């Protein structure tokens, strides 16, 4: 491909399934341009991501979905500046990502709360590292704690919280850094189905109030469609961004959204794309004939 990706499109031979109209803006937002990621291993190297391109425009909620082991999280780490690309680049508002940046914040799948700290101190941790005074960071942390629905739990320790609440702490910690883009790596992956649905709605409410861009890794099709403006479907490893589905469901999304026939169409469409790739991935691992 040539030049920075200005539109979201697939880089495979296959045609893009749904073109995007929303992301035709200029270099603003997060631009992935032909990203290739290679892991060195003891016996050679593994190409985790072959060629990923796309743009997350400001304020958009984008989900990254793909068969397990396809490099979704790897790609997120690249955007977060935790991993370097072998080829291609990621830029945020025109600046190439060369390491962790102040305008990105990450939320991980596993519990990443600091068990020896209170909720307040956990949420304020990012600002503590950034050198913000205790008084200021705690005052600001309280606002975010209210926003994510943890008011009253400021002085509790993570061991006293449920899995969903711990993820709220991690989300609040990320939000407090006031990033331009929130990078979420299967943040609800360890939660049960019901908790997941409720916390997903909460996330949308918070997103609505803050209007961050979000890049959200998930393997749950319903979750991806329900939350997102766009769903990027990745291929099996070595992966590419195979298709981009624009989710044209009304916002705010409500409980009834899932009953919408359009919701069903979209999830079916994502599943059809994913099915082929999942089969390839499973065959590769020997779990399917």
Partner 1 sequence: MTTIGRSRVKSGPAWTHAAQAGLIVGLVALLETATQTGLISPMVLPPPSDIGVRLAEIVPTAAFAQDLTTTVSTVLIAFVVGAILGLALGIGFWRFPFVGAVFEPYLVSMYSMPTLVLYPILLAILGVGAAPIVVIAASMAMIPVALNTMVGLRAINPSLPKLAKSLNCTRVQLYWKILAPAATPLIVPGLVLGFIYAVIGTIAMEFILAPNGVGFRIGYFYRSFDIVDMYAYILVASIIAITANVLLNRLERRIRQDMQ
* Minimum gap (Å) between residue 208 Cβ and partner 1: 25
CA distance 140 to 162: 23
Judge whether 126 and 176 are in contact, CB under 8 Å. yes
Q: Between 115 and 262, name the residue whose CB sits nearer to partner 1.
A: 115
Closest by CA to 176, choosing from 152, 147, 154, 203, is: 147
Least distance to partner 1, CB of residue 82, Å: 6
Distance CA(46)–CA(220), nearest Å, equals 26
Nearer to partner 1, 153 or 271 (CB): 153
CB of 180 to partner 1, least distance (A): 14
CA 102 to chain centroid: 17
Q: Residue 32 or 247: which CB sits closer to partner 1?
A: 32
* Nearest CB to partner 1, comparing residues 98 and 262: 98
What is the nearest approach in angstroms of partner 1 to the Cβ of residue 191? Answer: 15
* Residues making contact with partner 1 (CB under 8 A): 80-82, 99-100, 104-106, 108-112, 114-116, 125-126, 128-130, 159, 177
Give the whole-angstrom CA distance, residue 128 versus residue 125: 5
Residues 6+ apart with CB under 8 A from 261: none
Query: What is the spatial distance between Cα 106 and Cα 112, in angstroms, rounded to a whole number?
Result: 10
Considering beta carbons, is residue 34 or 126 the nearer one to partner 1?
A: 126
CB of 17 to partner 1, least distance (A): 32
**108 versus 271: smaller Cβ distance to partner 1:** 108
Min dist CB 157 to partner 1, Å, is 8
Owner of token pair 């984008």: 62
Minimum separation from the CB atom of position 56 to partner 1 (A): 17
Q: Is 188 helix (H, G, I), strand (E, B) or coil?
A: coil
- Of 27 and 163, the one with the shorter C-beta distance to partner 1 is 163
Minimum distance of partner 1 from residue 222's CB (angstroms): 25
Edge-to-edge strand ranges of the sheet holding 230-234: 95-96, 87-92, 30-41, 44-56, 239-246, 230-234, 61-65, 213-218, 181-185, 104-107
- According to DSSP, the residues that pair with 181 across neighbouring strands are 104, 213
Contacts of 32 (CB under 8 A, 6+ apart): 5, 52, 53, 54, 55, 75, 78, 79, 88, 90, 241
CB 72 within 8 A of CB 215: no
Kindly tell me which of 124 and 245 has the beta carbon lying closer to partner 1. Answer: 124
């Amino acid at each position: 491909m040539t030049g920075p990706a200005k539109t979201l499109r697939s880089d495979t031979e296959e045609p893009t399934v749904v073109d995007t109209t929303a992301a035709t803006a200029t270099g603003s937002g997060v631009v992935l341009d032909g990203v290739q990621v290679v892991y060195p291993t003891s016996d050679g190297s593994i190409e985790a991501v072959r060629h990923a391109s796309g743009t997350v425009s400001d304020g958009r909620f984008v989900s990254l979905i793909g068969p397990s082991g396809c490099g979704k999280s790897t790609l997120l780490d690249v955007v977060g500046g935790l991993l370097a690309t072998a080829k291609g680049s990621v830029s945020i508002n025109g600046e190439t990502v060369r390491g962790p940046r102040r305008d990105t914040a990450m939320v991980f799948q596993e519990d990443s709360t600091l068990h020896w700290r209170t909720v307040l101190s956990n949420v304020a941790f990012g600002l503590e590292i950034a050198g913000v005074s205790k008084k200021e960071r705690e005052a600001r942390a309280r606002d975010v704690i209210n926003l994510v629905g943890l008011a009253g739990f400021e002085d509790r320790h993570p061991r006293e919280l449920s899995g969903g609440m711990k993820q709220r702490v991690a989300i609040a910690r990320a939000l407090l850094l006031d990033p331009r883009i929130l990078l979420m790596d299967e943040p609800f992956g360890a939660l049960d189905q019901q908790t997941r649905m409720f916390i997903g709605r909460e996330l949308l409410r918070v997103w609505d109030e803050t209007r961050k861009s979000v890049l959200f890794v998930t393997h749950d099709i319903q979750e991806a469609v329900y939350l997102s403006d766009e769903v990027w479907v990745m291929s099996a490893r070595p992966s590419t961004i195979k298709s981009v589905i624009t989710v044209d469901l009304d916002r705010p999304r409500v409980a009834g959204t899932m009953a919408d026939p359009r919701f069903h169409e979209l999830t079916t469409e994502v599943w059809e794309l994913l099915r082929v790739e999942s089969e390839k991935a499973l065959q590769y691992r020997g779990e399917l004939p």
